């Protein structure tokens, strides 16, 4: 029972798995991340799919601006939605 009470202390957004659509070089990719992952973790996942190094990635997402440039920001702090597509330049 103790484990269930500690689970309620964490935000559901941090445990939530996000499925993001990424468009790059005319192709679409599906990236799965957790809300408690950082932007750096997202970029590493994208690197595994596209072979584009994280330092070369510029991510564009509607209504977020340049917050995706800061690798230390947690994805749960950003208003990401699975219905919107992210674009990568790099």
pLDDT tens readout for residues 50-73: 999 999 999 999 888 888 889 999
Of the candidates 35, 32, 39, 31, the one whose C-alpha atom is nearest the C-alpha of residue 13 is 35
**pLDDT > 70? residue 46:** yes
Residue 35's contacts (CB-CB under 8 Å, 6 or more residues apart) are 11, 13, 14, 15, 16, 17, 18, 74, 75, 76
Confidence bin at 2 (pLDDT 50/70/90): very low
**Per-residue pLDDT reduced to its tens digit, 3-44:** 443 333 334 444 678 899 999 999 999 999 998 999 999 999
Under 8 Å between Cβ of 81 and 54? no
CA angle 82, 87, 90 (to 5 degrees): 140
């Amino acid at each position: 029972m103790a484990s269930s009470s500690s689970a309620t202390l964490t935000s559901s957004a941090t445990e939530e798995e996000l499925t993001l659509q990424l468009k790059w070089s005319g192709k679409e990719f599906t990236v799965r991340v957790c809300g408690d992952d950082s932007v750096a973790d997202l970029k590493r996942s994208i690197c595994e799919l596209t072979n584009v190094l994280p330092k070369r990635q510029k991510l564009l997402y509607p209504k977020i601006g340049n917050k995706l440039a800061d690798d230390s920001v947690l994805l749960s702090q950003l208003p990401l939605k699975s219905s919107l597509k992210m674009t990568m330049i790099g």
